[in-house]
Amino acid sequence: MTMPSPAELPGRLAAVLRVIYLVFTEGHLASSGPDLIRSEVCEQAIRLARELMRLVPSQPEVAGLLALLLLTDARRAARVSPAGELVQLADQDRSRWDAARIAEGRDLVARALAARRPGPYQLQAAIAACHCAAPSAEATDWRQIVALYDALLVVEPTPVAAANRAAAVAMADGPAAGLAIMTQLAAEPALAGWAPLHIAMAQLHGQLGDKGRALAGYQLALQLGGSDAQREFIRSRLRDLSSPTAD
C-alpha cells in the first residue's frame, strides 16, 4: 500500500476505506456458504485497516474504521452456537466478547470523535461502542443509539442505516414503533430483498402476537438466501412458531 499525493488523498482514501469495510463485511456475515463467519477475511481486513492507520494516522475516519472493525469483530466468538447456528446480539454470551479489542476500539473512536470531524465510520463505531459498553441488550442505551443513527443518516443516508435505526427505535420505544418504520422501508427496492430486515420484522410481529405475519416474514427471509448458518437460524424460528406450544 502506497501513499497517494495530498491532492489525491481525500478521494482515494474514501475508496480504500470502502474496500476494507466491504472485505470485513463479507467475513463478518458471509453472503453464502456453510460458514456464517469467515475469520481469516475479518483478520485480513483488520490488518489492512491497521496498515492504513499507520500510513495516515491523522485521519479520524481511518481511526473510525479500525475502531468499527475491532468493536464488531470483538463479538465473533459469541455469534455462532456450538451447533453452528447464528446467535443474535441480544442472546450472546457477552463474557465471550474480546475485551482487549473492545478496549482498543473504544479508545480509537473516542480519539477520532475528539477531532470533531465525524464521518460514517466514526459514527458506526460509536454505535458499536454503545453495544459493547452494555452488560445486556436491555441495559443498552438505545436512545443514544437512535441519536447516533440520526447523525449517521445525515452524513450517509443509506437504507441499511435506516433499517438499523428502526431496530433501535423498536428497543427504545417498543416493537410497534420500530415495525411501523420497517414496514415503510421494506417497500423500498434497496431493502425488499434484504433478509435481515425481514427477519427483524418477523421478530417484531412475533412480539406483537401476530404469528401469521411472523411466519410469513421468516419464510420470505428464507427464500432470499444467505449463509447456511443464517438459513438454519430462520428455520429454527419457523419450527418454534409452528410448534403447538407457540400459540
Taking only the tens place, the pLDDT of each residue in 47-76 is 999 999 998 898 999 999 999 999 999 999
Task: Give the residue from 189, 148, 187, 190 showing the smallest Cα distance to 201.
Answer: 187
Give the residue, 18 or 5, on which the prediction is more confident.
18
Q: Which three cell numbers stand for residue 70?
A: 475491532
Whether 36 shows a pLDDT value over 80: the answer reads no
Task: Grade residue 237 by pLDDT with cuts at 50, 70 and 90.
Answer: very high
Kindly give, in sequence order, each residue whose CB lies less than 8 Å from that of residue 47, ignoring residues fewer than 6 positions away: none
Q: Which three cell numbers stand for residue 44?
A: 485480513
Task: Give the residue from 82, 164, 184, 95 showing the smallest Cα distance to 135.
Answer: 95
Give me the mean pLDDT over the 90-104 stretch. Answer: 96
- In this prediction, residue 118 carries a pLDDT of 93
Whether 1 shows a pLDDT value over 70: the answer reads no
Distance in angstroms (rounded) separating the CA atoms of residues 15 and 38: 23
Task: Give the residue from 224, 228, 231 showing the smallest Cα distance to 198.
Answer: 224
pTM: 0.90
- In this prediction, residue 165 carries a pLDDT of 98
- In this prediction, residue 29 carries a pLDDT of 80
Give me the mean pLDDT over the 86-112 stretch. Answer: 96
62 and 17 in contact (C-beta within 8 Å)?
A: yes
134 and 115 in contact (C-beta within 8 Å)?
A: no
Tens digit of each residue's pLDDT (9 = 90 or more) over 151-202: 999 999 999 999 999 999 999 999 999 999 999 999 999 999 999 999 999 9
Whether 96 shows a pLDDT value over 60: the answer reads yes
Task: Give the residue from 238, 218, 17 showing the smallest Cα distance to 122.
Answer: 17
